[in-house]
Structure 1
Amino acid sequence: MTTPVTALARRWALQIDMSAAKDGSDWQTVIGVTEFNPAAEPNIEDSSDYDGGGWAGNTKTGQSWELGVTINRRINDQTKVYHVTHEAFRAAAYAFGSASQVHVRYYDRDGLPEAYEGTALVTWAPSGGEYTALDQVEMTLTGDGPLLLITNPVA
């Protein structure tokens, strides 16, 4: 008999669709992730009425999602460029319209069934720090539309 073990936070893989059409044809893995905090909060409204016999009623009327991600900024020190996925997020954070949207997916890198995909807006906030600190960026990916449950691409 197998004893269940606790899943680790580092099980998540984050990818960004680098295709111009944002059609999922060029998924690239975001490297250097040090912190990953997914959230999908429902909007629940009180739908209580006399028919509930004094018990409250509630109805889900909406849903929002967000990813909090911290990355160690990666560079190629020979060619003096940042990692392409990091630059895609940074560019989107300073853009408007469709250029401000990123198509992302995240999934359990061990092949368990959790996997999600959606379009998000990016907030880009370099952490700064002391002279011994790493160059880190805190990103917030705020969902713009549904967060879809997908088949895990490594399952």
Structure 2
Amino acid sequence: MSTPVEPDVVALARRWRIEVNVGSAAVPDWKVCPGITSFQPAAEPNIEDSSDYDSDGWAGNTKTGQSWELSLTINRRITETAKTYNPVHEELRLASYAYGEASRVHVRYMDRRGLPEAYEGRALVTWAPSGGEYTALDQVEVTLTGDGPLLPIDNPVVVTP
């Protein structure tokens, strides 16, 4: 008797989970960023033409740099009785108005189901409230612009079958 083959399924865009370190580099305290409704990662290489006469007319290209960015939309979360915003949202908002080291956040994002894709890096924050009609949700467009490398990491999400 043969072993049945499990069919492949299509991964969903909502598989991503983003965490922000609200602690320090020495003692990290990773907190989930809730309310994400849209997520777009980008890691664009800088490619320069390195063609020369020795290539017999074929173009040559060399990767000379790399940049990364995360674009996300979040539904703003509040604690009604305490009159406070979600602490991760506040970490992002306050970093967007700061300078120097305070303007950077330490982030990581990963597949929430424990698949091997996961990354970590430091980023500058752009915070842009969406506004809208009287029926709209309080949404914010957040851009995390990489400051340094985006490193592949082991996925910290542990999923038990």
TM-score range, shorter chain: over 0.9
Compute the displacement of 1:24 (Å).
6.0
SS of the residue 1:130 aligns to = coil
Compute the displacement of 1:25 (Å).
1.7
Is the aligned partner of 1:88 residue 2:126? no
Once residues 23 and 70 of structure 1 are traced to their aligned partners in structure 2, the CA distance between those partners, rounded to angstroms, is 30
Q: Give 1:26's match in structure 2, choosing from 25, 29, 32.
A: 29
Once residues 28 and 95 of structure 1 are traced to their aligned partners in structure 2, the CA distance between those partners, rounded to angstroms, is 20
Letter of the structure 2 residue corresponding to residue 128 of structure 1: G
Q: 1:24 to 1:149 in 2, by over 3 A?
A: farther
Query: Which aligned segments of 4 or more residues in structure 1 are displaced greater than 6 angstroms?
Result: none
Once residues 8 and 146 of structure 2 are traced to their aligned partners in structure 1, the CA distance between those partners, rounded to angstroms, is 33
1:63 is aligned to 66
Once residues 13 and 75 of structure 1 are traced to their aligned partners in structure 2, the CA distance between those partners, rounded to angstroms, is 19
SS of the residue 1:64 aligns to = strand
Once residues 140 and 60 of structure 1 are traced to their aligned partners in structure 2, the CA distance between those partners, rounded to angstroms, is 25
Q: How much identity, in percent, do the aligned residues show?
A: 68
1:124 is aligned to 127
1:105 is aligned to 108
2:20 is aligned to 16
Q: What is the total number of aligned residue pairs between the two structures?
A: 154
SS of the residue 2:11 aligns to = coil
Letter of the structure 1 residue corresponding to residue 14 of structure 2: R
Once residues 149 and 23 of structure 1 are traced to their aligned partners in structure 2, the CA distance between those partners, rounded to angstroms, is 20
1:78 is aligned to 81
Alignment root-mean-square deviation, CA = 0.9
Once residues 27 and 106 of structure 2 are traced to their aligned partners in structure 1, the CA distance between those partners, rounded to angstroms, is 8
Once residues 27 and 16 of structure 2 are traced to their aligned partners in structure 1, the CA distance between those partners, rounded to angstroms, is 19
TM-score normalised over the length of structure 2: 0.94
